[in-house]
Structure 1
Amino acid sequence: MLLKGLPRIGLGLAALGRPGYINLDRTAQIAERSEEAMQQRAFEVLDAAYAAGVRYFDCARSYGLSEVFMRNWLAEQQQLVPGDGQIVVGSKWGYRYTANWQVEVPGGGAHEVKDHSLEHLNAQSAETLATLGGGGGSGGNSYLKLLQIHSATLESGVLEDKAVLSRMAELRDAHGWRLGLSLSGVAQGETLRRALETGIFDTVQATYNCMEQSAGQDLLAAKEAGLEVIVKEAMANGRVLRSPPLLAAAERLGCAPDALALAAVVQQPFEPIVLSGAVTPSQAESNCEAMALAESLRGIGEVEALMEALVVAPEAYWQERSELTWN
């Protein structure tokens, strides 16, 4: 198993690898957005996350310079040995970053464009290979261990594309990578069920949080089928942190609201690695408190009550997410 034994909080670089993202209150958290400033901020957050126990790091070709920042940070970590399994890096192919290092794209243009074609897989896997290295099989000398399809959907047809799936298997065999997919939207569960039928995936990454719980049973089925689960957007891009029930529970328990939101996901029976989306060192440190908090909350009913109080219909959740603005 790729992720077995790793601490249960990981770090996603979606909000660190590029100047704009859809998280709430981003402007108050990151002032300077130049490439140099963003790399420095990424280094600070990576330092804090690593010191707090994080050992899984999640990048994507469409996360701006996330792979470059990750590579440059790893190059400075003299205490680490590539390929020894202490650090695991995953990346994704399938979206192209198109914002040209801008927070607002002129004319309302897209920040990223989906392309699940074989040609795009070949191009982006080669770019990832050139940036992060060759793989983590036996004797592998790279931290890169996982290649994921970015936001696989039934509509894109990627799970029916035999040429793409065959090529991913070739990349797995050539570089010692594990294979995964990330999910998005109201049909996460249905897409995951189709992915399980292909038989080639080792991991699944899905949105799951106190508000959006619709994929829970399918994630549990995936775990029981042998896949490892990664959860993204466990704080709903910051929306869950404005929830009165969460804030009240955190005050009652004497913990940080962000740590409680993440702990609620860590506790789920599909045993995920839960990605922090921290953009400051203090956020990373607070997010990582979720690991100990999750253990202390087991069996006392707090998480169950919180999940029941905050859940919303997936259609409403994803509609609201679609209305978030890049900032």
Structure 2
Amino acid sequence: MSFARLATATTPTAHLGVGLAAVGRPGYITLGREDDLPPTRSVEALRDRTLELLDAAYALGVRYIDAARSYGRSEEFLADWLRVRPDVRDVVVGSKWGYTYTADWRTDADAHEVKDHGVAAYDRQRAESAALLGDRLDLYQIHSVTPQSPALTDKELHARLADLADSGVTVGLSVSGPEQAAAIRAALDVTVGGECLFRTVQATYNALETSAGPALAEAHDAGLTVLVKEGMANGRLAGPQAPEAVRAAAEATGSAPDAVALALVLRQPWAGVVLSGAATSVQLVSNLHAAAVDLDEEHTARLAALAEEPMAYWATRSALPWH
């Protein structure tokens, strides 16, 4: 199943995927996460949680799974699930390279991940991903590209990625930070053989951070599949801490704040796949209800008014503690 098929899939939850950042490692920055995971957070406990979550996601119609080299053991856990579920040939598997996980399974590490977009880092991490996921890897993305990233100008790296694309793996990138729009537009200008090197782009977009919207529309119009991460703003738009406008829309639609937050993203005409970062099956079910949430114009306008300046949004995100 090619990655592009997700854009025309007909199951209600086909445009919602599952990201494994919250369950592939013991520490992450999502609010409320301290109550979401097993108390011990051992490797085996999180492996079991990941397999349980993936079973539930597949049963509910989810067909895209998103991992990364820096998400602890997420690729390993995903590979384990694929081995015990040989029947799930219709899932699309994506992963990312560019960050190395350095926390050594600790939640109090000084640095949880180290960024490197060089050719040597790509060669090493590509081999690591291949060893775990083999031919099940459909999409390989550069992790968290900014306008300053050498990944946008390194011709040797571009040749490596073009070779990967020629082998049948879709090549994409994710972007982060207050200059997401500039990074997306710069990526659209990276060409090999007269065509854009990247076939997908993954970006942060939610009610609080909408600045990448116009650039994502341009990417969509250029033929790229758009994936959206952090649709709930690392938990700021979910649960009791959600803004009043989100909670009011949830009450009016008979849903939960997290579903409203994701429903707002699903309304964007350029959104191909919107990621759930659920850490429990209960959260996953609530997230997937977004596909059924019908936001009226009044609530949509109130949600739009929540948008923050990008610098302020990303400063708040950077200050979130690792739980």
TM class, shorter-length: over 0.9
Q: When the two structures are aligned, how many residues end up with a matched partner?
A: 307
1:150 aligns with 2:143: yes
Structure 1 residue corresponding to 2:212, chosen from 215, 228, 233: 215
The separation in 1 between residues aligned to 2:300 and 2:245, in whole angstroms, is: 12
1:4 aligns with 2:35: no
Displacement, 1:2? Answer: 4.8
Deviations 1:67-87 (A, max 9, x none): 010010111114323xxxx21
Displacement, 1:3? Answer: 2.8
**Residue identity opposite 2:248 in structure 1:** A
Displacement, 1:311? Answer: 0.9
The separation in 2 between residues aligned to 1:59 and 1:14, in whole angstroms, is: 7
Q: How does 1:110-189 map to 2 (within 5 A)?
A: 110-134=111-135, 142=136, 144-174=137-167, 176-189=168-181
1:25 aligns with 2:32: yes
The separation in 2 between residues aligned to 1:76 and 1:291, in whole angstroms, is: 29
The separation in 2 between residues aligned to 1:123 and 1:318, in whole angstroms, is: 30
Q: Which sections of structure 1, spanning at least 5 residues, go unmatched? A: 135-141
Would you say the 8 A contact 2:101–2:112 is kept in 1? yes
Would you say the 8 A contact 2:173–2:198 is kept in 1? yes
Displacement, 1:234? Answer: 0.3
1:58 aligns with 2:66: yes
What residue number does 2:81 align with?
Answer: 73
What residue number does 1:308 align with?
Answer: 304
The separation in 1 between residues aligned to 2:57 and 2:285, in whole angstroms, is: 6
Structure 2 residue corresponding to 1:103, chosen from 77, 85, 107: 107
* SS, match of residue 206 in structure 1: strand
Task: State the identity %.
Answer: 51
**Residue identity opposite 1:39 in structure 2:** R
The separation in 1 between residues aligned to 2:28 and 2:42, in whole angstroms, is: 14
The separation in 2 between residues aligned to 1:265 and 1:324, in whole angstroms, is: 22
What residue number does 1:205 align with?
Answer: 202
Q: How does 1:153-302 map to 2 (within 5 A)?
A: 153-174=146-167, 176-198=168-190, 199-241=196-238, 242-293=242-293, 296-297=294-295, 300-302=296-298
**Residue identity opposite 1:237 in structure 2:** N
Displacement, 1:184? Answer: 0.2
Q: Which sections of structure 2, spanning at least 5 residues, go unmatched? A: 191-195
**Residue identity opposite 2:164 in structure 1:** L
* SS, match of residue 150 in structure 1: strand
Would you say the 8 A contact 2:245–2:303 is kept in 1? no
Deviations 1:23-82 (A, max 9, x none): 00111111221000000111111111111111000000000100010010111114323x
Deviations 1:180-238 (A, max 9, x none): 00000010000100000011000000000010000000000100000000000000000
The separation in 2 between residues aligned to 1:60 and 1:303, in whole angstroms, is: 35
Displacement, 1:89? Answer: 0.4
Displacement, 1:303? Answer: 5.3
Q: Structure 1 residues 60, 303: closer, same or farther in 2, change over 3 A?
A: farther
Displacement, 1:302? Answer: 4.5
